[in-house]
Amino acid sequence: MSDTSSRLRIVWIYPDLLSTYGDQGNVLILRRRAELRGIPTETVHVHSSDAVPVEGDVYLLGGGEDRPQILAAERLRADGGLKRAAERGAAVFAVCAGYQIIGETYGDDAANPLPGVGILDVRSNRGQTRAVGEIVADVDPALGVGRITGFENHQGRTAIGPSARPLSTTVKGIGNDDATEGAYQGQILGTYLHGPALPRNPALADLLLRWRVGQIPPLQPSWGETLHEERLAAALR
């Protein structure tokens, strides 16, 4: 956890620009699953007019429309706090528009390439068709997460560079390119999954916790695991 605090510091970046489809639920479930294990937490909401603190443990970014996405990328690049936090080993979990802008480049609504924050070796552009609907994917076995599910609504197509790895292979849906979904590099993870992703996939939340606090005890199955199984079964009908 943070060198300056005994609490797990969860940083929610730009909720005024990047928070579509209830992505703040990712913050809530991460905090809840930490506290159920006796891990004290602190949640910091960073608006686009604020500086991004460097001394966080887990940084979360949600989805957004085209113009807010551009504004968020510009401000994050100018601020530099997120990049410095990633360089010092913080975990980053970014969804949809947030996923695209933490990469090297992403496309605007006219398919022009724009610079991203550059903490994940991916490059995104606009595809010919929009990906909308349920998505199911099998996570890289090295991460110990299993099968994940979510909702996608984007026109992005994302190519993964040599420094990153695909988060998962798609079973249903489009994801990055109709073959893989998301990407990760060290403790930086991006995905197109809304839902929100962490409430629908508690094992993903636990992965972020393990990255920051080490081994964690299992929890008794509850509504999160039930929701995961229900949505998975519905998506594969």
Q: What is the pLDDT of residues 153-206, one digit of tens each?
A: 999 999 999 999 999 999 999 999 999 999 999 999 999 999 999 999 999 999
Which residue in the list 45, 47, 96, 228 is annotated as catalytic? 96
Which residue in the list 45, 154, 194, 228 is annotated as catalytic? 194
Topology at the third CATH level for domain 8-236: Rossmann fold (3.40.50)
96 catalytic per annotation = yes
pLDDT on residue 4: 46
pLDDT on residue 6: 83
pLDDT on residue 76: 98
Q: Taking 90 as the threshold, does the pLDDT of residue 110 lie above it?
A: no
47 catalytic per annotation = no
Average pLDDT over residues 39-54: 97
How is 168-220 classified by DSSP, letter by letter?
A: EEEEES-TTTSSEEEEEETTEEEE--BS-HHHH-HHHHHHHHHHHH-------
The residue ranges of every structural domain in the chain are 8-236
Q: Taking 60 as the threshold, does the pLDDT of residue 83 lie above it?
A: yes
pLDDT on residue 111: 86
Query: Is 77 a known ligand-binding residue?
Result: no
